[in-house]
């Protein structure tokens, strides 16, 4: 894909406005990931912030804290994959292959 830098400069304000709108819109998106067959779930927002962690009481075994930690990490990874997929579906065509730091598309 060839990008004309002069066209980008010409439309910089419009592009910046679109990116700012997209950034604000992303805060409203949510995706949930799970692990351990759903005993741990993590919900993240489109701006990559953890919004919620839910643990089934069965996951809380004081004798096996490392397992619980691994389940939380796995659920978070799954949630991040889901939010990135959602973002790609929504904004991928708009960005048309541009690599914009922080969006992870």
Domain at 10, CATH number: 3.30.1310.10
Domain that holds residue 46: 5-95
Q: Is there a domain that residue 82 lies in? A: yes
Which one of 20-24, 52-56, 82-86 scores highest in mean pLDDT?
52-56
Q: What share of the chain has pLDDT > 70, as a percent?
A: 86
**12 or 51, which is more confident:** 51
Measured at the CA of 80, the angle between CA 74 and CA 85, to 5 degrees, comes to 130
Judge whether 38 lies within some domain: yes
73: phi then psi, degrees, rounded to nearest 5 = -60, -45
The answer to the question of residue 75 being in a domain is yes
Q: Calculate the CA 62 to chain-centre distance.
A: 31
Which comes out higher in pLDDT, residue 76 or 89? 76
Q: Which of 86, 81, 80 shows the shortest CA–CA distance to 25?
A: 86
Q: Is residue 103 part of a domain?
A: no
**pLDDT score for 18:** 79
Please check whether residue 102 lies inside any domain of the structure: no
């Amino acid at each position: 894909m060839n990008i004309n830098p002069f066209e980008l400069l010409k439309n910089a304000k419009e592009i910046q406005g679109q990116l700012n709108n997209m950034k604000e819109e992303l805060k409203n998106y949510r995706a949930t990931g799970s692990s351990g067959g759903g005993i741990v779930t993590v919900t993240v927002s489109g701006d990559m912030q953890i919004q919620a962690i839910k643990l089934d009481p069965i996951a809380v075994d004081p004798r096996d804290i490392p397992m619980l930690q691994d389940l939380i990490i796995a659920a978070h990874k799954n949630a991040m994959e889901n939010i990135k997929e959602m973002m790609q579906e929504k904004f991928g065509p708009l960005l048309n292959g541009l690599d914009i730091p922080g969006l992870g598309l």
